[in-house]
């Protein structure tokens, strides 16, 4: 799409030369062919060093732009950015994709749906009611139990198991909010990548990234009714027990272990080899490895036990 | 159905004239053609002013009945009421409905099921494995991703998105309990109404009302794995993040915002424009607007932070 | 399968006579035709009295074996046991089963899938997108709403209702962990048995047992988005409200009542007729009946209320 078409859509003027854009990305990751955006002065420094050539910015960031770029000045960049994501959003189904390719010794139930452009490996089992979207990939030896949904463009590796009812690649929960309290959808134009040897329980939801990929690394095991939000990155051999929820863009190292009903806030970085007891509520990044945590707010597990003992004594105290 | 048929079903005598009943409703909302009920003397005043003409009541409420009505005296009204809901329960599928009506430019996958009586708008996308029940409605431009279930008689507005695996209109969780500990199903004879511009994530469950409607008002956004119980009312432009659960009959005003893994008790009224941090547990109605809450039991967010700081100091105290 | 084949698969030597094994089981339950295992000396006494004839054990347990048995010595029994479960794991679909049997007056939507070997009762309703696996049973009068998955070999009783998207019989979350942090799947070779008159809400997950059965006893009612792990046993007429999760192998007596978003740890025994308030977190077995509990860690409800009152006073204290 031409950047001038974006300007027209936003009813704005394009500053600088017109150029071809093939997608959107965040400031730090955008390539020369991607449209990016900076919301406010906090991003001034990142803006200066961006590789992108096309920007949505507020007036007061113009001076921080790199040289020889094009831009559109927006009253509210978060709102304009949301509107523009729609321009780059693929349709739910790509009817123009090539025929799907199915490997040998693969069983696909006649009541499963494989969209065009899907690539299905060898020795795969896809049971009734399951769905593999346009241009999605399912690796060798993988099993999709009934009623699994793999959204378009998502990738499931080799030797994976996905249990009934799980949804891989549903939209991340992202909106920009207008001054009168309406919510403008930020179309989620990324995907989900599930590496090899991952098992996902039943009725779990793993959301696609807004840009780029939500990533579940190899050997990780995810239980039932788990919620993994957009742009999360789960390290290798992690274990996430039932009904745990991870908010968006959190990255955790390998062999992270979460007990049931845990919750993790968004945009955190969690060092590898940490264990979180059931119902842990993680709200800050964790730099150390090899520890066991519990509680909400989170503390080390042994401290949590001590605190709970203190709390239970409150009733007999005069406080 | 004739009220005398209800009496026969309950093995009871009908007091007063026989009359035609078309459905059931709660005391305060029942019309002249609906059967209603009063459980005990707490409802005496409401009973007196009811518009209904047909009642299930205990002996000691007879004196509070309006004039010229018919009634059945029940030993245990909660149990009799539950049994009678079954008489008015529609079958899961209405095989006698008229042919479904599909708007123009609508795509319905050949592996989606549209029951008779369904009304599907224009420019709708209904993907493989999705289900639209008898006499349900799906508005213009709406997208049902794969494996979505819209139960019979439910209504989804224009410009909505429902992600994979979500269930709209499953039965509310309602039973009457016998003295020996058995549970008699209260059939959920209402529906769900989802207004325009609502997005619902993957694997969420929105239960149909016991009578009348569970209501999600326009512009609201609901994340993955959210549980909305029967007869809830979600105000316009509300935001409900992942794994939040709302118990039955709670009503919240517009622009309510719930962080992930929040919970709300039943039968509450929550004023508009309030925000609830992740894991909030709301157990009381809220009259003020514009505040931020947290914790379980719920307090204002800044107070919660202060309390947690105090708790973390308990370990170093001598209490 | 011959025990010698197991030895070959493990690249180990068989001690004692070869014998035919038809499945695996835990030490206390294994019959003479089942393979069992003992992990360490804690199981020495159980080992001595086991009825089994085939064992996986570490070297230092050989002396505790019953007479006239066969065994394989393993460096790490938990790992070897996990590998061997795969040998006994049935395929997701049994293509060689006999034709399914469907009772009279049963409605099966043309978009539902019934695998071979399934037994469907009379007057059953199986709606579009639902799946009944190989050799599974669905009792009389039962309703499966759309997109329900009943995995192979699972049993659903008479007069049950299963709402949209629920998964009955997905694999329990069981792995053995290698020294370098990889997870070896313990194949879940048991099933789920749901007795008569059980209702299960939408998008709930009930996992199959690793050996034997996960059991939901008659008259129990389970809400939406509930997670019941492998080998749990739910007593008759229990009530489990929305988003509650039960970890593995927990057994609860009849008329157990769990409020929404409760959690129960694994391997507990909970006496009958207890009630747990919403968000209860049960981490210990409960011997008394007839009480109401709350909180995490769990206490009696009235004590929890008192403790919360004390906590709320911390802010005005000088502690």
Sign of the dihedral through C-alpha C287, C291, C292, C294: negative
Whether residue B317 has pLDDT greater than 70:
no
In chain A, residues with a C-beta closer than 8 Å to the C-beta of B314 are 307, 310-311
Report DSSP letters for B138-180, one per residue: E-TT-EE-TT-EE-TT-EE-TT-EE-TT-EEEEPP--EEE-TT
Domain count, chain A: 1
Sign of the dihedral through C-alpha A83, A87, A90, A91: positive
Whether residue B312 has pLDDT greater than 70:
yes
3-state class (DSSP) for residue B292: strand
Burial of B272 (0-12, 13-18, 19+ CB in 10 A): middle
Minimal Cβ distance to A223: which of C151, C173, C307: C173
User: What is the pLDDT averaged over residues A276-291?
Assistant: 98
pLDDT above 70 as % of chain A: 99
Number of C-beta neighbours around residue A190 at 10 A: 24
Question: Is residue B69, in this structure, part of any structural domain at all?
Answer: yes
In chain B, residues with a C-beta closer than 8 Å to the C-beta of C316 are none
Whether residue C14 has pLDDT greater than 60:
yes
Give the active site residues of A: 230
Tell me, rounded to whole angstroms, the distance of Cα B47 from its chain centroid.
23
CB A175 within 8 A of CB A82: yes
Q: Residue A109 has what DSSP assignment?
A: -
Q: With bands split at pLDDT 50, 70 and 90, how would you rate the model's confidence at C318?
A: low
Tokens coding B301: 């967010």
A53-98 per-position pLDDT tens digit: 999 999 999 999 999 999 999 999 999 999 999 999 999 999 999 9
Cβ–Cβ gap B205/C224 under 8 Å: yes
Q: Which of B229, B269, B267, B256 is nearest to B245 (CA)?
A: B229
For residue C172, CA distances in Å to A221, A275, C49 come to 12, 20, 28
Question: Is residue B190, in this structure, part of any structural domain at all?
Answer: no
CB C82 within 8 A of CB C39: no
C195-224 per-position pLDDT tens digit: 999 999 999 999 999 999 999 999 999 999
Cβ–Cβ gap C147/B151 under 8 Å: no
3-state class (DSSP) for residue A72: strand
Cβ–Cβ gap B109/A111 under 8 Å: no
B250-269 per-position pLDDT tens digit: 999 999 999 999 999 999 99
Q: Which residue has the higher pLDDT, A295 or B314?
A: A295
pLDDT of residue B98: 97
Q: Which of B209, B205, B174 is nearest to B189 (CA)?
A: B209
Residue-range definition of the domain harbouring residue A25: 3-87
Question: Is residue C63, in this structure, part of any structural domain at all?
Answer: yes
Please tell me the distance from the alpha carbon of residue A120 to that of residue A105, in angstroms, as a whole number: 11
CB A124 within 8 A of CB A109: no
Number of C-beta neighbours around residue A87 at 10 A: 16
Cβ–Cβ gap B173/C221 under 8 Å: yes
Whether residue B319 has pLDDT greater than 50:
no
Cβ–Cβ gap A183/B317 under 8 Å: no
User: What is the distance in angstroms between the Cα of A194 and the nearest Cα belonging to chain B?
Assistant: 18
Please tell me the distance from the alpha carbon of residue A278 to that of residue C106, in angstroms, as a whole number: 43
Q: Which residues contact C179 (CB under 8 A, 6 or more apart)?
A: none
Number of C-beta neighbours around residue B89 at 10 A: 15
Cβ–Cβ gap C203/B225 under 8 Å: yes
Tokens coding B246: 């709302």
Whether residue B187 has pLDDT greater than 80:
yes
pLDDT of residue A285: 98
Q: Which of A312, B246, A242 is nearest to C299 (CA)?
A: A312
pTM beyond 0.80: yes
Question: Is residue A262, in this structure, part of any structural domain at all?
Answer: no
Whether residue B76 has pLDDT greater than 80:
yes
Question: Mean pLDDT, chain C, as a whole number?
Answer: 97
Question: Mean pLDDT, chain A, as a whole number?
Answer: 97
In chain A, residues with a C-beta closer than 8 Å to the C-beta of C265 are 278
pLDDT of residue A318: 57
C100-114 per-position pLDDT tens digit: 999 999 999 999 999
User: What is the pLDDT averaged over residues C187-200?
Assistant: 98
Please tell me the distance from the alpha carbon of residue A312 to that of residue A309, in angstroms, as a whole number: 5
Question: Is residue B281, in this structure, part of any structural domain at all?
Answer: no
A290-316 per-position pLDDT tens digit: 999 999 999 999 999 999 999 988 877
Question: Is residue A145, in this structure, part of any structural domain at all?
Answer: no
Whether residue C315 has pLDDT greater than 90:
no
Whether residue B168 has pLDDT greater than 60:
yes
pLDDT of residue B318: 57
Whether residue B37 has pLDDT greater than 90:
yes
Q: Which of C81, C67, C87, C74 is nearest to C16 (CA)?
A: C67
User: What is the pLDDT averaged over residues A114-142?
Assistant: 98
Q: With bands split at pLDDT 50, 70 and 90, how would you rate the model's confidence at C319?
A: very low
Alpha helices in chain B (DSSP H): 3-9, 44-48, 77-88, 301-313
Whether residue A288 has pLDDT greater than 90:
yes
User: What is the distance in angstroms between the Cα of A101 and the nearest Cα belonging to chain C?
Assistant: 23
Cα(first)–Cα(last) distance of chain A, in Å?
A: 67
Among B85, B94, B109, B113, most C C-beta atoms within 10 A, so best to mutate, is: B113
Query: What is the CATH number for A51?
Result: 3.40.1390.10
Question: Is residue B18, in this structure, part of any structural domain at all?
Answer: yes
User: What is the distance in angstroms between the Cα of B309 and the nearest Cα belonging to chain C?
Assistant: 9
pLDDT of residue A317: 66
pLDDT above 70 as % of chain C: 99
Burial of A180 (0-12, 13-18, 19+ CB in 10 A): exposed
pLDDT of residue A319: 46
Sign of the dihedral through C-alpha C40, C44, C46, C49: positive
Among A86, A89, A131, most B C-beta atoms within 10 A, so best to mutate, is: A131
Residues in a beta bridge with C292 = C275
Tokens coding A161: 């198991």
Question: Is residue C179, in this structure, part of any structural domain at all?
Answer: no
Residue B140 CA neighbour count, 13 Å, CB half: 3
């Amino acid at each position: 799409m031409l950047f001038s078409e974006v300007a027209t859509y936003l009813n704005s003027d394009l500053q600088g030369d017109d150029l071809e854009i093939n997608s959107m990305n965040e400031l730090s990751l955008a390539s020369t062919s991607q449209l990016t955006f900076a919301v406010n002065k906090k991003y001034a420094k990142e803006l200066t060093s961006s590789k992108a050539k096309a920007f949505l910015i507020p007036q007061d960031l113009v001076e921080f732009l790199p040289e020889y770029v094009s831009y559109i000045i927006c009253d509210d960049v978060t709102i304009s950015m949301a509107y523009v994501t729609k321009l780059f959003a693929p349709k739910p189904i790509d009817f123009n994709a090539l025929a799907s390719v199915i490997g040998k010794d693969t069983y696909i139930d006649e009541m499963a749906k494989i969209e065009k452009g899907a690539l299905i490996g060898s020795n795969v089992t896809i049971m009734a009611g399951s769905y593999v979207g346009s241009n999605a990939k399912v690796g060798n030896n993988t099993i999709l139990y009934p009623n699994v949904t793999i959204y378009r463009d998502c990738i499931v590796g080799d030797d994976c198991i996905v249990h009934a009812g799980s949804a891989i690649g549903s939209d991340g929960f992202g909106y920009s909010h207008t001054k009168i309290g309406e919510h403008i959808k930020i179309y989620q134009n990324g995907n989900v990548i599930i590496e090899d040897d991952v098992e996902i329980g039943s009725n779990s939801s793993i959301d696609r990234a807004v840009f780029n990929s939500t990533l579940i690394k190899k050997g990780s095991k995810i239980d039932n009714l788990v919620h993994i939000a957009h742009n999360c990155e789960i390290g290798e051999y992690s274990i996430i027990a039932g009904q745990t929820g991870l908010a968006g863009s959190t990255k955790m190292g390998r062999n992270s272990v979460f007990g049931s009903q845990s919750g993790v806030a968004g945009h955190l970085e969690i060092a590898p080899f940490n264990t979180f007891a059931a119902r842990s509520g993680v709200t800050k990044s964790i730099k150390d490895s090899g520890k066991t945590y519990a509680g909400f707010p989170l503390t080390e597990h042994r401290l949590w036990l001590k605190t709970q003992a203190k709390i239970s004594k409150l009733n007999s105290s005069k406080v």
